[in-house]
């Protein structure tokens, strides 16, 4: 049940990241067209694309932990005895959880510090844009905790296996 819930959340994050990427490409294409063909550059385009890039990066990272499509190096772990391999995998999951909690904490501090800073040309503040940082950090921690409790390795793209 939890595995299915995590899979659904991960797929929603991946879909949101894909939509953000498509919107970013469309907005930047419109900006280039408007600037060079219409001799008019929309003021909102650059800041909107930047916000979308921040969001797609952090949401995609969280999904990458759950789905296992991030880059990893396996050489050292692959050559360990099975008992040590499990310990190293658990340690890696634990370190990912700790890093994610640090992202949550520092993301909250960043959002608080920038809450009153307006985003030029958009009706948002920087703090609102940066809320994705602690949100994605919490999701990364949950996804890695699930892997840790199951004793699973957080798989990823194997550079050379």
The 10 Å CB-count burial string (b at 16+, else e) for 76-108 is eeeeeeeeeeeeebeebbeebbeebbebbeebb
Whether the pLDDT of residue 161 is over 70: the answer is: no
- Which of 68, 73, 65, 131 has the alpha carbon at shortest distance from 97? 65
Tell me: the pLDDT tens digits for 115-156? Answer: 998 888 888 899 999 999 999 999 999 998 988 887 766 555
Query: Cα angle vertex 140, ends 152, 128, to 5°?
Result: 170
**What is residue 26's three-state secondary structure?**
helix
* Beta-carbon contacts of residue 116 (< 8 Å; ≥ 6 apart): 125, 127
Tell me: the pLDDT tens digits for 97-114? Answer: 999 999 999 999 999 999
The answer to whether the Cα torsion of 54, 60, 65, 7 is positive or negative is positive
Tell me: the pLDDT tens digits for 28-84? Answer: 999 999 988 888 888 898 899 999 999 999 999 898 888 877 666 566 677 778 788
The answer to whether the Cα torsion of 137, 94, 148, 154 is positive or negative is positive
pLDDT value of position 157: 45
Euclidean distance between CA atoms 42 and 31, whole angstroms: 6
Contact 131, 114 (CB under 8 A): no
Among 41-45, 53-57, 85-89, 91-95, which is the least confidently predicted range? 85-89
């Amino acid at each position: 049940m939890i595995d299915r819930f995590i899979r659904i959340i991960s797929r929603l994050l991946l879909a949101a990241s894909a939509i953000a990427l498509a919107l970013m490409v469309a907005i930047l294409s419109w900006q280039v067209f408007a600037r060079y063909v219409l001799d008019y550059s929309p003021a909102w385009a650059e800041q909107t694309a930047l916000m979308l890039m921040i969001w797609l990066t952090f949401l995609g990272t969280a999904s990458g932990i759950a789905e296992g499509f991030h880059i990893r190096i396996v050489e050292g772990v692959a050559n360990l005895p099975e008992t040590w391999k499990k310990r190293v995998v658990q340690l890696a999951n634990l370190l990912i959880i700790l890093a994610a909690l640090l992202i949550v904490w520092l993301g909250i501090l960043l959002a608080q510090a920038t809450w009153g800073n307006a985003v030029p040309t958009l009706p948002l503040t920087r703090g609102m844009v940066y809320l994705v940082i602690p949100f994605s950090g919490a999701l990364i921690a949950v996804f890695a905790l699930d892997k840790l409790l199951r004793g699973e390795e957080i798989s990823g793209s194997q550079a050379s296996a």
